C-alpha cells in the first residue's frame, strides 16, 4: 500500500510525529540532515559545551549542534536522551601491527587488529605507538591502516625495524633520524609522531635521534623511557631533552622516578609540564599503579591525555579497554567533562589532528554515545590492586564519518515485529555502515 501525501501535508505530519511516520511519507520531506541525535547530553570540551543538545549530521560532517533541531529535516532521528554524546574517542597509545605472524613481536603477534577493541568502546581514532619503523611501516599500512574501519594513525619507531623484540630494539645502529623523518613526511598526517621505547642502555642516543627525526618532520616524539638508568634520569628527559609538545607516556607507572621518595610527584615532571611537555597515561599491562596515580591526582598532577597501551599483554589484565582507563579517572574523582577532554580534544591536538576530537559544525562526524552506569565496580592496576568505584562508562552508539559503526542496544533500529513479514536490511547507507541498505528514493521500492 502506498500513501500519496502532498508536500505540505507531509511536513505537517512530520513535525507532529516524525518518529512514527511510515518511511514512504517521511521521504516527501526535504531532508537536510542524514542523522539527528536527539536529546543527549553533549560534552564537547573544545567548544566548552556540556549541556543537553541535539546533534545533526550531514555528509559525514557535524552539520549543527543546538538546543532543538527540527526532526523533520533528518532522514533518521535517534533518541539519545539520558546518554552522553561526545566526539569519537582518540586513543594515542595502542599496538595494532597484527597479521605478520611474527611471534613475540609488536610487529606481529603481540599486536591486535584494532576494530574489535575500538568502535565498541566509542574509540574512532587510534595511534599505534611505534610498532613499525621506517623499514616496515608500509607493510603495516597495507596490512592494517588501509583496511581498518577505525581511523589508524601511527608513531613511527626510531628503530628502523620497529618493535620486533630485544635484539632489534637495542640496536643503536638501526636508529636513524633521516630515513625515519623521510618516511614520516611521505605519509604526512598518517604518521603523527616518532616513538622511542624499551631501550635498556645508558645512552641518550635513542631519545636524541627520535627528537632529531621529529624536528626534521615537524612532529612530536613519544617516549616510553625503557629501563631506568641513572645515566639518563627522567628529570633531564622532561626538563632538557624533550621539546614542548613531546609526549612522556606511562606517566603513572612509577618505574622511572615519576614519584619521589616522599611520595610526591617528581618536581621535574611539574617543570616539564611548565615547558610544554605532554604527560600521557599509556596504562598497558605494566604501566599504571594506584599508589602512583592516586597521590599524583590528589596533588593535581592530572594526565594531558588518557590512553590504553592496548596489546595482547594488556587487553585482559588490569587494563581492559579505553573506557576502563577512563573509568579509573572517574573513580579518582575526575569529572566526566575532564575525562572526555583528555580522551578527545587533548589527544587529537597532541597528534596534530585538530579536525578531530570535537563537534564543531563542519567537523568530521566521529561521535561516541555513552551511558554512565551506576553501581559497584572495581578497577585494577598493573600489580593487581583494586580501587572501587561507583560509575562505569559503556558505549551505546559509535559513528565514524557520520555513519553508525556500532550500536549496542539497537537504538537506531526498528523493532522486528513492526516490519514487513519478509523484511530485509533496515538501514540506509546515508547513516548506516553496519547494515546499510541502498538509499531508498522517494516513492521508490
By CB under 5 A, name the binding residues for Zn ion.
129, 309
> Which of residues 27 and 314 has its CB atom nearest to Zn ion in the complex?
314
Grid cell listed for 442: 522517494
Q: How many CA atoms lie within 13 A of 257 on its CB side?
A: 18
Compute CA distances 417 → 114, 412, 413, 420, 422, whole Å.
35, 15, 12, 8, 11
Q: Which residues, including other chains, have CB under 8 Å from residue 321's CB and lie 6 or more apart?
A: 117, 121, 308, 310, 315
Q: What is the DSSP string of 214-227?
A: HHHHT--EEE---S
> Which of residues 129 and 405 has its CB atom nearest to Zn ion in the complex?
129
Least distance to Zn ion, CB of residue 369, Å: 28
> Which of residues 258 and 309 has its CB atom nearest to Zn ion in the complex?
309
126: enclosing H helix or E strand: strand 123-133
Q: Which of 179-197 are b and which e, b meaning 16 or more Cβ less than 10 Å from the residue's Cβ? A: ebbebbeebeebbbbbbbb
Least distance to Zn ion, CB of residue 224, Å: 6
Least distance to Zn ion, CB of residue 308, Å: 9
> Which of residues 157 and 259 has its CB atom nearest to Zn ion in the complex?
157
Least distance to Zn ion, CB of residue 407, Å: 30
- What are the beta bridge partners of residue 157? 133, 195
Beta strand pairing status for 278-279 and 49-58? Answer: unpaired
Least distance to Zn ion, CB of residue 261, Å: 27
Least distance to Zn ion, CB of residue 307, Å: 9
> Which of residues 347 and 389 has its CB atom nearest to Zn ion in the complex?
347
- What are the beta bridge partners of residue 263? none
Grid cell listed for 158: 626510531
> Which of residues 308 and 343 has its CB atom nearest to Zn ion in the complex?
308
Amino acid at each position: 500500500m502506498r500513501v500519496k501525501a502532498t508536500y505540505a501535508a507531509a511536513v505537517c505530519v512530520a513535525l507532529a510525529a516524525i518518529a512514527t511516520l511510515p518511511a514512504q511519507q517521511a521521504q516527501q520531506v526535504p531532508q537536510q540532515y542524514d542523522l539527528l541525535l536527539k536529546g543527549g547530553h553533549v560534552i564537547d570540551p573544545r567548544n566548552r559545551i556540556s549541556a543537553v543538545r541535539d546533534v545533526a549530521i550531514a555528509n559525514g560532517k557535524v552539520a549543527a549542534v543546538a538546543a532543538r533541531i527540527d526532526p523533520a529535516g533528518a532522514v533518521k532521528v535517534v533518541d539519545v536522551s539520558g546518554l552522553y554524546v561526545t566526539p569519537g574517542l582518540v586513543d594515542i597509545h595502542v599496538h595494532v601491527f597484527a597479521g605478520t605472524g611474527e611471534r613475540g613481536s609488536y610487529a606481529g603477534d603481540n599486536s591486535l587488529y584494532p576494530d574489535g577493541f575500538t568502535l565498541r568502546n566509542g574509540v574512532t581514532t587510534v595511534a599505534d605507538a611505534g610498532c613499525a619503523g621506517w623499514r616496515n611501516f608500509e607493510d603495516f599500512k597495507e596490512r592494517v591502516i588501509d583496511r581498518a574501519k577505525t581511523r589508524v594513525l601511527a608513531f613511527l619507531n626510531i628503530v628502523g625495524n620497529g618493535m620486533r623484540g630485544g635484539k632489534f630494539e637495542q640496536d643503536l645502529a638501526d636508529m636513524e633520524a633521516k630515513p625515519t623523518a623521510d618516511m614520516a613526511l611521505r605519509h604526512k598526517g598518517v604518521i603523527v609522531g616518532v616513538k622511542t621505547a624499551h631501550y635498556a642502555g645508558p645512552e641518550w642516543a635513542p631519545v636524541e635521534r627520535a627528537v632529531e627525526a621529529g624536528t626534521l618532520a615537524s612532529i612530536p616524539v613519544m617516549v616510553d623511557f625503557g629501563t631506568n638508568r641513572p645515566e639518563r634520569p627522567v628529570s633531564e628527559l622532561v626538563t632538557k631533552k624533550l621539546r614542548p609538545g613531546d609526549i612522556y607516556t606511562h606517566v603513572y607507572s612509577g618505574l622511572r622516578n615519576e614519584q619521589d621518595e616522599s611520595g610526591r610527584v617528581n618536581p621535574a615532571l611539574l617543570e616539564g609540564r611548565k615547558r610544554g611537555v605532554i604527560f600521557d597515561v599509556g596504562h598497558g599491562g605494566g604501566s599504571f599503579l594506584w599508589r602512583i596515580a592516586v597521590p599524583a591526582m590528589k596533588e593535581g598532577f592530572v594526565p594531558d591525555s588518557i590512553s590504553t597501551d592496548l596489546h595482547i599483554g594488556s587487553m585482559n589484565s588490569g587494563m581492559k579497554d579505553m573506557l576502563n582507563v577512563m573509568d579509573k579517572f572517574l573513580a579518582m574523582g575526575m569529572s566526566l567533562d575532564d575525562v572526555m577532554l583528555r580522551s578527545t580534544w587533548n589527544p587529537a591536538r597532541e597528534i596534530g589532528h585538530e579536525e578531530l576530537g570535537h563537534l564543531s559544525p563542519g567537523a568530521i562526524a566521529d561521535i561516541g554515545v555513552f551511558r554512565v552506569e551506576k553501581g559497584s565496580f572495581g578497577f585494577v592496576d598493573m600489580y593487581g590492586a583494586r580501587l572501587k568505584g561507583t560509575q562505569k562508562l559503556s558505549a551505546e552508539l559509535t559513528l565514524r564519518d557520520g555513519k553508525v559503526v556500532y550500536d549496542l542496544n539497537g537504538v537506531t533500529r526498528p523493532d522486528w515485529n513492526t516490519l514487513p513479514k519478509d523484511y530485509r536490511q533496515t538501514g540506509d547507507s546515508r547513516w548506516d555502515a553496519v547494515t546499510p541498505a541502498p538509499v531508498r528514493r522517494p516513492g521508490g521500492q
